[in-house]
Structures are given as structure tokens and as C-alpha cells.
Chain A
Amino acid sequence: MPDPGVQQQLHHLYSHHHGWLKAWLRKKLSCQHTAADLAQDTFVRLIVSDKTPLPGQSRAYLTQIAKGLVIDLYRRQRLEQAYHEWLLQLPPIDIPSPEQQAIALQSLIQLDKVFDQLPARVRETFILSRFDQRTYSEIAAQLGISVAAVRKYMLKATQACMEQL
């Protein structure tokens, strides 16, 4: 729980800038409901971060958080669309249950975040192994690295998946 001073500052931030932030987001998003949600999320993010903006920089600070959330949203929508495009190609009988669809989409979104944090080479190794079904020797040959390096990269990527998936 934030101490009373911080709480007061948050209250002040919310009452002075929430409406403005919502309007700013609406211009970016052209959807009123999403703008309201993201404005709310921005403040949640702020509270969780346990940091507060320096005086006079409140709006710059809030829009910085909000911009990140907008990018996340677009990214999420694109992944969702890609997943739905894939579902569309399936015969109706093979369509997974809504529950499984939700888990799969969530996993894809998490995986996207995991990959963002990994070096390109580690990411490529993991994709070649897990999604292109290549053996470690094949990956080593393709990327021009040793099998030991493939193993090392796989450990790193798998560890990241364990933490976030």
C-alpha cells in the first residue's frame, strides 16, 4: 500500500489528468471504450511501478506509459488476427474449443514478449527447433554454429518460456 503522501499525489494525478489522458488516447485509438480502458490501465501501471512523475512532468510521464500500452494493444490485435486467420483455414471439425483458443492466443502473446527479450540468434534457434521441427545438428549447420551453442541457446530460450509462459 502506498504511503499517505504518495496516495495523495496519485489522487491528485488522477483527478487532474485522467480526463485529459482519456481524450488523448481517444484521438490515437478512435474507440472510446478502448481509450477509457487504457487510461485506466495507465494509472494501474503507474501505481504498480511505485514511481511518481517529477513535478511538471505528469502528462509527459503518463503519455509515455500510455504509448507503451497502445503499442502492446496493436501488437496483441495483430497476433490475435494472425491466430484467427489460421483458425479460418481449419476444417470446422478441427477448430479448438474457445477455452483452448484462449490459451493458445495467450501463449502466443507471451511467446512474443519472451522473444522480444531474447537475442535474435537465440530466438531463431528456438523457432527452428520448436516450430520448424529441425534437429540440433540441422540448426547448427543452418546457422553456422556448434551443436553445443544450439543447446546453450535452447536452454536460455526454454528457461525464458518457463518463466513467462
Chain B
Amino acid sequence: MSQQRALHTAVDDAQLRQEALEWQVLLWSGEVTDDQQHAFEAWLARSELHQQAWSEIEAMQQKLQLVPQATIGLVRHKISSAKRRRFMQMLGLAAVTGSAVPIVRQSEGWQALAADYRTHTGQQEKIVLADGSQLIMNTSTSVDIAYSEHERRLVLHEGEIYISTAPDHSQARPLLVQTRHGTATALGTKFNVRLKHHETRVSVHEGAVRLRSDNGLHDLTIASGMQAGLLNGALSKVSANGNETAWLDGKLVAEQLRLGDFLDELSRYRTGVIRYDQTVANMLVSGVFPLSDTDRVLQSLLQALPLRIDYFSKYWVTVHAA
């Protein structure tokens, strides 16, 4: 191709791109006349080069469409971090009312001094307690309920619960959650308690919760929007809530999470074991994943990361580097 001709083509391309751009701006007006629409179609039908120029515009437009309107506020105005935290809390609360948790069970009345509730792996359950308080149980969770004249005590043996307390007007009985690490006492509130092997972690979404270590040495009131933990008989530092209650919506949220931590979290919801090589443990995962279908989540990881997944059986999964 001669230099002259190359130059000519380049000019044509730029010209067509400009025309495509102008058409797009015209078509976005929301006030397109039939004549304009026909003129555009005639322009597009003129040559393959026209169509090529248009496809570039379309590619950009498709990306634009993937950006949710809800996130544009952040780009449009700068939002203070305090405002954002409040927004997140709002979402946390909205998540509970629109909860995806399926089954509701009514306990037999508070005269039943001890009740026992248990969920299996991958199961979640919502329980309305005798006083109207709500208890939502996450996967593999076991709770004893021990209401008495003096207190409303829940004993968390394993797993994770979200509690939304009802005020107890008749008698001022405190509601408290006991674990092997200590107790969390509700001060009129919504909160999440997760029991791990070495730690009990409490995140507060409304009101406040008083956290006290089993040995009685440590005591802390956690405010709404914050979380803290009991680890080895001591209190951890208080920090802002993240995505602790995404499980109420049946979701697992990862923000630059180590793949190892991600898989550990995922395996809570899956019968059997998920093993992974240390070589992949530090890869980072971001995204929102449905807890209801862990097989789908594992498959989707393959699209995002250079991994290989071996199934020895349905219950034994190993994740390697590709």
C-alpha cells in the first residue's frame, strides 16, 4: 500500500468514527424522529466500514450499560465516608426485611425452657422466638434457647446467628448470646454473632451490644455499625462492619479476598472438603457469589483465575494452579 493510500484510509476511518459518534449522540436524545432513524439506517447500510465504525460505538455503549446507575452517585458527587457507612448500615437492615431465608418456625412458648435448633451444611433457617425476637441461623449452626424469668439466653454451640430482638416490656429480661468465649448482651438491637474455632465475632447493625469475655476480665460495648471479637480470652480491636451479613441475602461477598480465605468461607456452605494448594492461596478474589450453588461458584472461579479444579468425588474438591 502506498503511503498516499494509507493516509487516505486513515482519514476515512477517522471521518467514519466521527460520523458514528455523531449518530450515537443523536440517537441518545430520546427525541428521535422517524426520518432521523431512517437516515441512520441508511448510513449504517452504506458499507462494511460504516458498520465497523458503528460496532466500536456499540462496544463502548455496552460497557456503559453494565455500569449501574446506583454507583454513579459516587462519581457524580464525592460522598463522605460517614455517609457511606450509614448507607451500608441501611443496606444491612434492608437485607433483613427482604431476607431470602426460607423456613420460619415458631418456638413453643417461653415456658419451654430449653429448645434446640440446628441447621445442616448449606441450610439457613429463620426462627421466631416466643417473645417475638427473630433468630436467623446460618449454615452448620447449633443453638440452645434458654428463656427464664430473668433472662433470655441463647447458647451458640457452633456456627453463626443474626438476631433481631423484640423489646421485652413485661419484664426487663436481657437477651444474651453465650459462646465458649464469652457473652454478648443485647441493648435493644440487631446483631450478628459468628463462632469460629478460636474466636467469637460480634457485629452490630442497630442499637448496641455489650461483649464480655468468659473470664470476666474484658468488657466492651459495641456501637451500631461496628464489630469486635473475643479471641484467646481478650478483646480484638473494634472495626467498622464489612459484609458480615451478606449471608442473610444468600450471598458471599469478596473484596480483594485471598483465595484461601475465600475457599475456607465457601466450604462452610458445602458438604465435604475443599482443599487448595498453597501456590494459589494468595491469589485475590473479588465479586459477589450465590451461596445456594457452591458448584457454580467454583466453576465461576475458573473463568476469573488461572486455576484447575479436581473432583475426587462430589465431596472432595481440590483447587490447583492451572
Contacts and interface: CB of A to CB of B under 8 A. Distances in A.
A80 B75 contact: no
A78 B301 CA distance: 23
Contacts of A122: none
Interface stretch (B18-26, B209-217, B222-230, B273-281): B18-26
Nearest to B288: A87
Nearest to B305: A98
Chain A, interface SS category: helix
Interface string B120-132: 0000000000000
Given A84-B253, A95-B288, A104 B30 contact: no
A157 to B, nearest CB: 9
A161 interface: yes
B53 to A, nearest CB: 11
Contacts of B304: 98-99, 102
Contacts of A108: 67, 71, 75
A104 B21 contact: no
B300 A131 contact: no
Given A88-B253, A89-B91, A154-B28, A103 B76 contact: no
Nearest to A159: B21
A105 B256 CA distance: 13
Contact of B72 (A100, A104, A105, A127): A127
B2 interface: no
Given A87-B288, A88-B91, A158-B25, A107 B66 contact: yes
Contacts of A131: 67, 69, 72
Given A80-B255, A88-B95, A123-B76, A107 B249 contact: no
Given A84-B253, A151-B25, A162-B21, A112 B288 contact: no
B295 to A, nearest CB: 14
A101 B25 contact: no
A155 B21 contact: yes
Contacts of A155: 21-22, 25
A57 interface: no
Contacts of A143: none
A103 B25 contact: no
Interface of A: 77-89, 91-92, 95-105, 107-108, 111-112, 115, 123-124, 127, 129-138, 151, 154-155, 158-159, 161-162, 165
23 contacts: A77-B256, A78-B74, A79-B74, A85-B88, A86-B71, A88-B246, A89-B91, A89-B94, A92-B250, A98-B304, A101-B288, A102-B287, A111-B75, A112-B74, A127-B75, A131-B69, A136-B29, A136-B30, A138-B30, A155-B25, A159-B21, A162-B56, A165-B60
Pick the 6 closest A-B CB pairs, nearest first: A135-B30, A104-B66, A87-B288, A92-B290, A107-B63, A136-B29
